[in-house]
Amino acid sequence: MPTDNIDRLLSAYRWMQLTRTLDEAIRTLWLTGKGVGGTFNQRGHEAISVGAAMCLQPDDLVAPMHRDLGAFLVRGITPRRIMAQQLGRATGVSGGRDANIHGCGDLDFGVIGFISHLPQSLPVAVGAAMAFRHRHEPRVALTFTGDGGAITGLFSESLNLAALDRAPVVIVVEENQYAYSTPIATHSANVDIAARARATGVEAIDIDGNDIEAVLTNVTAAVGSARDGEGPTVVVAHTMRMLGHAIHDGAEYVPAELLTDWERRDPVDAIRATLEVAGHPVDQLDEIDSSTLATVDDAVEFALASPWPDPSTVESGVWA
């Protein structure tokens, strides 16, 4: 494997391991009663969120959703700020105004704070891309939605708008087989999301969402095509949501054998195996793991020690 490929994969490994470790720390806090409200895990989505965000330039824009912890991290939002956000602290990204990873936006890092009505990020990304195109700026917007989001009217409407404008936007659909408790075959009469996107007039491809190299290669191509004025692309990344919809959800409705199958395709294990096979020293990978753990421990400590927001500020910030 060429050195620059190894370097890129190594970088992806760092981000994916950080994403996985931070996600597990969030889960531990909630399962030990230290959480505030509900929260979401993203286990299984690391290759998609990290890989897609790594394909962007600093001036680009990303509108992640609740399975895209990796995208927030790659853009530069620190584990400390994310953990404080999770715990509703003044030091969190939204200062305690929005919950868990929602509203975790910061335009200094080119990140949109999503709302629970997840498909709303689609037209926002399309509109941002329309603005880039209108001003002749070489920038790209990228957003994520799920198989549930892809069955909404807003998905079709946004794709149509993007196609009409040849907007420089990439839409990554994280097809993780379930919309809450409903399997894709139950909520989508046509489970071929890429075909539905193509029928709307947008280029679309299917990729293995657990394969970081597939994500990096294909999203890089889609982002490049958008930047070159070739219009939007939908990338349907197939994966599996390995935990419940949210922290309260044991996902007993998911067949155990399905999870066992996908556990064997774990994206973090897979990238590590790839690096090991390519001859990358194992002790260096272990070192990444231990420094990642230290970063996450620090974030938890920081968040738990952070002040609560001042209730006298509850009415401030409604107006710009």
Partner 1 sequence: MTDGSSLDDPRPQRTYLEAISDALVFEMSRDEAVVLLGEDIAAPFGGAFKVTKAAGEKFGSDRVRNTPMSESAFIGAANGMALMGMRPVVEVQFADFITTGFDSIVQFAATTHYRWGAKVPWVIRAPADGGLRSGPFHSQNPEAWFVHSPGLKVVAPSTPADAYGLLLSSIRDDNPVIFIESKPLYRSLNGPVPAGDHPIPIGVADVARPGRDCTVITYGAMRHQATTAADLLADEGIEIEVIDLRSLKPLDLTTVIESVARTSRALVVHAANRLAGVGAEVAAVIADECFSHLDAPVKRLGGLDVPVPFSPPLEDAYRPDSDKIARACRDLCAW
Residues that bind partner 1 (CB under 8 A): 61, 93-94, 97-98, 102-107, 112-113, 115-117, 120, 122-132, 134, 141, 153-154, 157-158, 160-161, 164, 317-320
Distance CA 149, CA 38 (A): 21
Distance CA 40, CA 213 (A): 26
Closest CB to partner 1 among residues 29, 161: 161
Closest CB to partner 1 among residues 279, 311: 311
Q: How far is the CB of 97 from partner 1 (least distance, A)?
A: 5
Answer whether 273's CB lies under 8 Å from 210's CB.
no
Q: How far is the CB of 187 from partner 1 (least distance, A)?
A: 19
* Amino acid type, 22: L
Q: Provide CB contacts within 8 A for 263, sequence distance 6+.
A: 242
Q: How far is the CB of 255 from partner 1 (least distance, A)?
A: 34
Distance CA 230, CA 224 (A): 9
The two structure tokens encoding residue 46 = 């690391």
* Amino acid type, 8: R
Handedness of CA 292, 94, 124, 134 (dihedral sign): negative
Closest CB to partner 1 among residues 171, 215: 171
Q: How far is the CB of 219 from partner 1 (least distance, A)?
A: 20
Closest CB to partner 1 among residues 16, 126: 126
Closest CB to partner 1 among residues 30, 155: 155
Closest CB to partner 1 among residues 126, 222: 126
Distance CA 126, CA 171 (A): 9
3-state SS assignment for residue 254: coil
Cα-to-chain-centroid distance, residue 181 = 20
Q: How far is the CB of 213 from partner 1 (least distance, A)?
A: 30
3-state SS assignment for residue 146: strand
Q: How far is the CB of 179 from partner 1 (least distance, A)?
A: 17
